[in-house]
Structure 1
Amino acid sequence: MQEIEGLVEEHILPKLDPDFLQYFSNNQPRATNPPIQHVRAHPEAYQSPCALNTSGYPGVADFNCPSQDGVNIPVRVYHPNGAKHGTGPYPVHLNFHGGGFVLGDLSTEAALCLSMREAGVVVVDVDYRLCPETTWGICIQDAWNTLAWVRESSAALNIDPTSVSIGGISAGGHICLVLQHMARDAGIPLKLCMASVTPATKGLSYTYYTDSPFPSFHEFYRGPVLPWERIKYFGRLCMPPEKLPELQKHWPNWWLEPLDAPNWNNLCDTFIRTAEVDPLRDEGEAYAMKLVAGGNKVTIKRYLGCPHTFMYIDAMRRKHEYDRDAIVALRAAHGLS
């Protein structure tokens, strides 16, 4: 415990899960705001703790999804074990990784994708385009195009296009919240939206952490995993103040802030998962309550003692609980249990 005194504020320290404290004592945080050029030149230094190169694994194959502007979006497709789950066609789950819209690739959540396919579903991991190389909002277009491509590629992927779910962590969770509304508006049925530690407001464009109306944003603004300085770093790269008016003009405002979505009726079933010691906790739960008020079926779970992206840390028992919860939710949503 002595090793992390001074790194975690006194009011936060007793709230944290012992497994995380043990992990954190041996894994001190990196600089929160490295130049993006350095990040791109040394991606291995900024990978998630659970990053894994699954290229060539049994049942794993890479494809390219055409975007609407002619760029190929890489996706990695994970098929379940046929001996255990039958020969298909299988339900399909699209995964959108976290990383503040700035970091992440097909290795970031590969271990989680391997776990989720144990539900008996095909998992499609999407390598959407990142900021600042592309304008924020392109990521959502890439996700939408991938959803359409997956449904149109049912024969090639051996999937059931009528049994589709979506999910994501952090920035990826934000993306799937937007897709949830877009799919409803387009008449595309989804079995489940499974969003975790999800930003539901435009916190990346805040000038200071006190701009947030949510208590958790204030309480944990100097938390150990996603402090305000880290959020501000991502914000400068994808929603800088000088570009915000252009983004608001180009994209629907609720894309930036899903809590402002105009219609909360007839949305697909949703599983919202939050972490207790996370500045984004309250806005994820506020999104869930808006779904409840709209008459939708919602499951909410808060993982006690956990910081943002705890599900990336294999040494935490809560992470394995998170994996089991995902498998149970996917099997139930797709009628496999």
Structure 2
Amino acid sequence: MTSSRPDFDPELHSLLTQMPLNSQLTPDLLATLRQYPSTPPETFYGRRTVERQDVTVPAQDGAQLPLSIFSPVGAEAAPCIYWMHGGGMVMGDRLSQIDIPLEWLEEFGAVVVSVDYRLAPEVSGSTLVDDCYAGLLWIAEHADELGIDRDRIIIAGASAGGGLAAGITLMARDRRSVAIAAQILICPMLDHRGVTASSHQYSGDPGIWTREMNEFGWSSVLAGSTSPSSYLSPALAEDLSGLPVTYIDAGTAEVFRDEDVSYASRIWAAGGQADLHVWSGGFHGFDAVFPQAALSREARHTRTSWLSRTLIRLTPSRTDHPEPAYASR
């Protein structure tokens, strides 16, 4: 463990001390964590009337992948948020952290689609990112019946889901398939190598996501491989040009800080646009774990403000839609 490192935000640290934490993730602990259900999405519906539809779509290998579609009533030519959940690629489901994209359904009338990609170690390698990509192709194919504007499909995810979101955005660019309007990468898990300073700083002590937990997650999905695809470990991608506008955020006090900063820097170097926010004292997933904390509220507000501006830029000719509720706050 590196002794010198950024401290946690005082309020977040106080909240964190009330949680049972571990420094290691083991198969037994993983089995226990997988038993905890996600919060019912109805909790987060807010003012809008929301319609939910659950479907299955075929994966590349023929497996059936569950997707949940959350739509405001009467959605027509609406923006789409395609959501990939977090969980280190070894846990979570399509309802994990669903409160984050459902805020955007509330504010902007977006259709939210979330995918249950398969998890390691039951599957390994590119299967996880291939599953997410299969969901993206299905959304594009069924956009009209879902009330989605194909020109406003936004890829978003947190932690492992942020890495998978980055991966399928690269896939869509390289395969010239779906035109992605923007990507939102929340503390994304981008690099399997674990060579950055921040990946060493948050080791040894119990936490939300430590170096040791990260090694467990990556070893589970890599299954002995030392050369994963750049779609699975996007930090390996040699070319970051031609990507859509990107939002990346992380905390100063987390394992993924440096790989996330590097990814944004490389997008800039390739001539792209990326908004990068590194929140002082934020640990991994702080705004999802403790959304009531002051720093979390600021991070979520800033992210939603960016999305509001992005959606306005994507719809310059539209004059018949109401101003997003968020813009008046």
Fold shared per TM-score above 0.5: yes
Q: Distance in 1 between matches of 2:69 and 2:255?
A: 32
Deviation at 1:161, TM superposition (A): 1.4
Deviation at 1:89, TM superposition (A): 2.1
Helix, strand or coil at the partner of 2:161: helix
Percent of residue pairs bearing the same amino acid type:
24
Match of residue 34 from structure 2: 43
Asked whether the 8 Å contact 1:113–1:125 carries over to 2, the reply is no
Q: Residues 44, 220 of structure 1: CA spacing in aligned structure 2 closer, same or farther, 3 A cutoff?
A: same
Q: Which runs of 5+ in 2 are unaligned?
A: 316-323, 325-329
Match of residue 16 from structure 2: 24
Q: Distance in 2 between matches of 1:287 and 1:197?
A: 11
Q: Distance in 1 between matches of 2:189 and 2:101?
A: 21
Q: Distance in 2 between matches of 1:309 and 1:42?
A: 16
Q: Residues 42, 55 of structure 1: CA spacing in aligned structure 2 closer, same or farther, 3 A cutoff?
A: same
Across the two proteins, how many residue pairs are aligned to each other?
A: 305
Q: Partner letter of residue 227 of structure 1?
A: T
The one of 198, 211, 225 aligned to 1:244: 225
Q: Which runs of 5+ in 1 are unaligned?
A: 1-7, 207-211
Asked whether the 8 Å contact 1:23–1:315 carries over to 2, the reply is no
Q: Residues 41, 228 of structure 1: CA spacing in aligned structure 2 closer, same or farther, 3 A cutoff?
A: closer
Match of residue 317 from structure 1: 294
Asked whether the 8 Å contact 2:160–2:189 carries over to 1, the reply is yes
Match of residue 320 from structure 2: none
Deviation at 1:198, TM superposition (A): 1.6
Helix, strand or coil at the partner of 1:306: coil
Q: Distance in 1 between matches of 2:90 and 2:215?
A: 12
Match of residue 187 from structure 2: 197
Deviation at 1:76, TM superposition (A): 1.4
Helix, strand or coil at the partner of 1:150: helix
Asked whether the 8 Å contact 2:161–2:189 carries over to 1, the reply is no
Q: Distance in 2 between matches of 1:39 and 1:317?
A: 30
Match of residue 65 from structure 2: 73
The one of 91, 112, 132 aligned to 2:79: 91
Q: Residues 88, 328 of structure 1: CA spacing in aligned structure 2 closer, same or farther, 3 A cutoff?
A: farther
2:210 is the counterpart of 1:218: no
Give the TM-score normalised by the residue count of structure 2.
0.84
Q: Distance in 1 between matches of 2:267 and 2:23?
A: 37
Q: Distance in 2 between matches of 1:35 and 1:261?
A: 30
Q: Residues 275, 44 of structure 1: CA spacing in aligned structure 2 closer, same or farther, 3 A cutoff?
A: same
Q: Distance in 1 between matches of 2:252 and 2:32?
A: 34
Q: Residues 178, 106 of structure 1: CA spacing in aligned structure 2 closer, same or farther, 3 A cutoff?
A: closer
Deviation at 1:109, TM superposition (A): 1.2
Deviation at 1:121, TM superposition (A): 1.2
Q: Residues 320, 44 of structure 1: CA spacing in aligned structure 2 closer, same or farther, 3 A cutoff?
A: farther
Q: Distance in 1 between matches of 2:253 and 2:172?
A: 31
Give the TM-score normalised by the residue count of structure 1.
0.82
Q: Distance in 2 between matches of 1:217 and 1:30?
A: 16
Describe how 1:256-335 pairs up with structure 2 within 5 A.
256-312=232-288, 313-335=290-312
2:83 is the counterpart of 1:102: no
The one of 105, 112, 118 aligned to 1:129: 118
Deviation at 1:270, TM superposition (A): 0.7
Asked whether the 8 Å contact 2:25–2:213 carries over to 1, the reply is yes
- CA distances 1:243-273 after superposition (whole Å, capped 9, x unpaired): 215xx3xx63x23432221322221111111
Q: Distance in 2 between matches of 1:61 and 1:303?
A: 35
Q: Partner letter of residue 39 of structure 2?
A: L
Note the aligned Cα RMSD (angstroms).
Answer: 2.5
> Which has the higher mean CA deviation after the structures are superposed, 171-180 or 278-287?
171-180
Asked whether the 8 Å contact 1:164–1:190 carries over to 2, the reply is yes
